[in-house]
Amino acid sequence: MINPMTTTQPRRRFFRYSLRTLMLVVTVFCIGLGSIGIQIKQARHQRQAVEAILATGGIILYEYQRTNSDPPGPEWLRRIIGDEYFFTIGYVDFSGSKVNNASLAAVVNFLASVKYLSLFSTEVTDEGLENLKELTNLRIVHIISTKITDEGMKDLHQALPNCMMVHTDRDGSRKILPPATSSHKPLK
């Protein structure tokens, strides 16, 4: 006769888990994949931005280049998947480029993360500045020798009060509109 106290259960090779645990693991996995998908979309968007800006003759600097620091992320991984997954565009310079109101409107959707923008000797007018009002991350805008008027600059400054505006007319007169709240000191 078998004694019930001495019998042992057969050992299972796999862990037991409930359906609830499985659903929780799948949910966490899907959230992780979703966040990776968002990063991939942002990187593609930034790559399109760089291509569009360079096509108009503009120049870009990434945040790490502007601060003279080392590029973020491991070099071997940047070579495999691309720089745009690690870098953020911080500075765009359209100096002497063929940018006008239409081409600025075409690239403005790609400039959401830009903090510094320079328009020197371009064909942009007050009408083109209307497109920049959505760029709330802008901190400094240099506008030199363009067809932009003082009224256009003031209108843009009202839309972006935390942005310092430096406007130099074609005649050489310089106007500085300091940010409403910031530690920036007006340039002389």
* Structure confidence by residue, pLDDT tens digits, 52-88: 888 888 888 887 887 777 778 788 887 888 777 788 8
Confidence band, pLDDT 50/70/90 cuts, at residue 187: very low
Secondary structure letter of residue 71 according to DSSP: P
Smallest CA-to-CA distance from 115 within 43, 40, 182, 38 is with: 182
Q: Three-class SS of residue 92?
A: strand
Residue 143 forms part of a structural domain: yes
Residue 9 forms part of a structural domain: no
Which amino acid, 58? Answer: G
Residue 77 forms part of a structural domain: yes
**Conformational region of residue 157, where left means phi above 0, alpha means psi within -120 to 50, and beta covers everything else:** alpha
CATH of the domain at 131: 3.80.10
36-50 in b/e form (b: 16+ CB < 10 A) is: eeeeeeebeebeebb
Residue 95 forms part of a structural domain: yes
Q: How many domains, the chain?
A: 1
Residue 171 forms part of a structural domain: yes
The per-residue pLDDT for 179 is 85
The per-residue pLDDT for 3 is 60
The per-residue pLDDT for 126 is 87
Q: Which two tokens stand for residue 27?
A: 């949910």
Confidence band, pLDDT 50/70/90 cuts, at residue 91: confident
Smallest CA-to-CA distance from 131 within 105, 111, 100 is with: 105
Residue 106 forms part of a structural domain: yes
Strands (E), 131-178: 140-144, 164-168, 174-177
Domain that includes residue 138, residue range: 20-177
Residue 1 forms part of a structural domain: no
Contact 179, 156 (CB under 8 A): no
Question: Using one digit for the tens of pLDDT, what is the confidence trace for 145-169?
Answer: 888 888 888 888 889 888 898 888 7
Smallest CA-to-CA distance from 86 within 70, 103, 100, 102 is with: 70
* 70 vs 120, residue with greater confidence: 120
How many other C-beta atoms are found inside a 10 Å radius of the C-beta of residue 52? 17
The per-residue pLDDT for 186 is 45
Residue 59 forms part of a structural domain: yes
Using a cut of 0.75, tell me whether the model's pTM lies above it. Answer: no
